[in-house]
Each structure stands twice: as C-alpha cells, then as structure tokens.
Structure 1
C-alpha cells in the first residue's frame, strides 16, 4: 500500500518508515459556517480531500506505478478563526497556531521524518501554515511543503463558479459537503440575502489588496455567497478534482526531493 496512519503504527514501524516517507498533516478549524453547515466543515473537507488523494495513490500503486510512502498524521482540528467568534468558533491565536505547528513539525524531525506536507482546509490558517513550513526548513534538515486544498490545480471547471472558490459556507463548500457528508448539511439550504456594500474581504477594491473591515462577517451573515444552488453531483466532481490534484502534488513533491522512495508495495 502507499500509506499508513501514524496512530495505527508502532514506534518501530514509525522509525523505520520515517526517513523515506512523506508525513502528511491535514489541518482544519472549528468555526461557524452559516445556518446550514457544521462548525467542523473545514476539518471534514481537509480530511475528505486527503483520504481520496491517498486512495488515488493506492490505486496507482496497485497498477504498478512507483508512489512514495505516505504517513498520514492525525488531523489538527483547530485553527485561527477569531473572525468567526461573533457566532461560534474554537480558535487559536495566530501566535499559538504557529507554535503548535512548530512543535508538531519539530517532533516529526526528531522522529526521523525528513519530508513533510501540510494540507490546509481553512483560509485563516493559510499564511500561518506557510510561515511555519518556511521556519521549519530553516532550523531542521528537512524538505517541507504546504498547500490549501482548493489552491492546487484547477479549482473550478467553469467560469460561472470560479469566483466562488473557495468562499466560506457558500456554493463551493456546500457542494463539497453535500458530496462528502450530506447528512451534516441542513436542508433546504437558505438563499443568501444580498448585502450592500459587498464585503471587502471577499471582493477587495483592487486586485492583490488584502482588505479587512471591522464587523464584516457578522454583517453579511457568516457566508461569502449564496449556497442555495449547491449540488451534490457537482460537489462530487469538485471533490474528486481536489483529491486528484493533491495526489499529483504529493507525487510532484516526491520527485522534486530527488529521492528514490517507495516501490508501490508499502
């Protein structure tokens, strides 16, 4: 097989696999996702994409393709979500999340891991995660990478929905959740009332300009766009595309490190 779960391995198995394996760490959040999605949406979607990516890798290994060994770490379910405390969230400060990631990554290095990939499911974690990976590679002899699952490859297959990716509790996340965890989506999904002026965090006044306005999330009701048109069928296609993109990223990361690891037999 192409992967193992860290929680299911012994310390000897972990030590044996560590030097050649890619340690894969999903991270998410617990935060409001409007009235129709659960607080754990970001964590659940990071896990769904990760699991499907690992299944793709296992399938390629079964077909005889050389794939790297992947050690799947437990998901970190808490992130940086102070902007959602107006409703409900369990949040770590940016400083604390950075320290948590630092210590997890340092533990991996101490255990013998030399290649690490962090897969993120929450926008508020993105910058913190990328900085943590950069710091890690400065202080340890490792190769590390990071991504948010929606940022890999083509996020949407049509121009109509491209601007809604990833959004928050909108069409994109709701479609993914209808595919991955339909029982957790409260239906019917209510239509989002238009807001004026539109939120600056989602539509900045100038390309490339990060803009935040106090009280914005509460003013718009906790979502970035109308989720009432979300579809499970469309979500399944998007989820598969995200998983295939992540599997491709794992393979590319493996090739870029210049190692000859894994033979598809696990």
Structure 2
C-alpha cells in the first residue's frame, strides 16, 4: 500500500489505471473521560493499515493507494460535550467531491472504510448515488461489520459491539494506541431508565430520545473491563476481515477494468 500524499501526480495517474483507492473516514467527538476525541479516526486507520500489511504478504495481491483519513464526521449527538461535526448534507457533499476528484484523477475502483457510526448511513448513500452518475465501482464498509468469520471475534460480547467509548472501542484502543487511553478506566454507573438508542424496545426499531447521550455520560456500556489482549484479538479479526473484503472487491472488479482498458 502506498500513500497518496507521498506520490507525484504522474504516479497517482499511473496507479489509478489498476489500483484500489482506500479512503478511511472517522470523527472528532467525545469518547467519555478515558478515550481521545479522534478514537474513531485512529481505529479506522489502525484496521486499514493492518489489513494492508496482511495483503502485502501476497506478491500477487491488490495494489492499494491510501488516502489521508477524513478526520471529521457527522457527530451532532456528541456536541453536548465536545465534537467537530459536519452536517449530513456537508459530509455527503465532501464524500461526493473526494470521489469525484479520484475519478477525475483516473481511479475507477474506490473503497471507503468508516470508523464512526454516525457516518454509516451517509457514507452508504453517498457511494450509491455517486455510482449512478460516474463510471466507477465503489465499495463502503464500517470496520466493525467486517470480520474474518472465524468465530469468537467479539470475545463473547456481541451485545456491546461496536458501542461507543465502551468495552469494544476501549479494548481496541488499548491494543492500537495504549498511550492515549486514560487509565484506570472508571466503571460506568448504571442509569435508569436504560437508554433506548443502544437497546431499542423491539428488534428493528431505531429509537432516539432527547438528552440520552448526556444522561449516560457519553458511553454506551461499561469500559472498565476492557483489556489489550481482547483488543488485539478484535483488531486482528477486523483486519483479517477487511483484507478478505479488499481481496474480494479486487477479484470482482479487476476483470471489468481490464476489459475497459482493452477497449
């Protein structure tokens, strides 16, 4: 994997004829009292970089061009504490502009790798809309949804995955960036009634109740049991899953691109 930032424009153009451009996106928002604002961006980058390292072991693997991470996302629900938030319309427009720039620069295969829940729907809609009007194949995923499928990925705690500033993200940060985790992590006091955004009263419902994030202190679950060994397993599983996803995307699209070049 090569960084777009370090390439000349000739190298960018030349790579675009065959490479997959990878765009990590995240956020700057409160992550309770123990995690940094940039947690979502840092984790998206960590999973992507580890996936690329796995793919680099294959000499016939995908050629990848990594863009700088987009560090801002849609985070109005975290402004009760602190966030740098883009509106849904602005984030969609930014993604559209970045995708359009890549296509104009010669890229026809692009994957967006997201680290923030508030971006997910906006990112997927932006990808779908862009592919309707541009000659491009675009993929999108949030890193926590892509697993290697080898079982036990969430250490028996799928009900708090991915959560926010809880056990899952804190374990990942203890593995990827332990120096940024403020320890000891204090246990989260139980709150009554339980928040609805993370535990809706019926499966399939999306429920938001005003003021809930501030009421629960900015996290979805207790992070005090997080640990680095769990984080390494979780991070490894997501990296392997993302590597498999990139390889599958490459295999499914390279033939189309080769045919286009032949014509």
Q: Which of these residues, 102, 125, 128, is aligned with residue 131 of structure 1?
A: 125
Residue 189 of structure 1 corresponds to: 185
The answer to whether the aligner puts 1:35 opposite 2:33 as a matched pair is: yes
Alignment of 1:1-150 (within 5 A): 3-61=1-59, 66-150=60-144
Give the counterpart of 2:163 among 156, 161, 167. Answer: 167
Residue ranges of structure 1 left out of the alignment (5+ in a row): none
Partner of 1:253: 249
Q: How much has 1:158 moved relative to structure 2? A: 5.2
Would you say the 8 A contact 2:155–2:230 is kept in 1?
no
Q: Distance in 2 between matches of 1:42 and 1:156?
A: 23
Aligned equivalents of 1:57, 1:231: Cα separation in 2: 27
Correspondence 1:207 to 2:197: no
The alignment of Structure 1 onto Structure 2 pairs a total of residues equal to 256
What secondary structure does 2:111 align onto?
A: strand
**Cα distance per residue 1:168-214 (max 9 Å; x no partner):** 00000000000000000000000000111111110011111111111
2:146 & 2:204 partners in 1: Cα distance? 19
Q: 1:156 to 1:224 in 2, by over 3 A?
A: farther
2:57 match: secondary structure: helix
User: Is the 1:23–1:115 Cα contact (8 Å) retained in structure 2?
Assistant: yes
Shift of 1:156: 5.2
Residue 157 of structure 1 deviates from its aligned partner by 2.9
- Deviation string 1:133-162 (CA, Å, 9 cap, x unpaired) is 001101100000100000012595357311
Task: State the shift of 1:259 in Å.
Answer: 2.4
Q: 1:221: which partner in 2?
A: 217
* Greater relative contact order (CA < 8 Å, ≥ 6 in sequence): 1
1:76–1:156 CA distance, 2 compared to 1 (3 A) = farther
Hey, what's the Cα distance between the residues in 1 that align with 2:22 and 2:155? Answer: 32
The normalised TM-score by structure 1 is 0.93
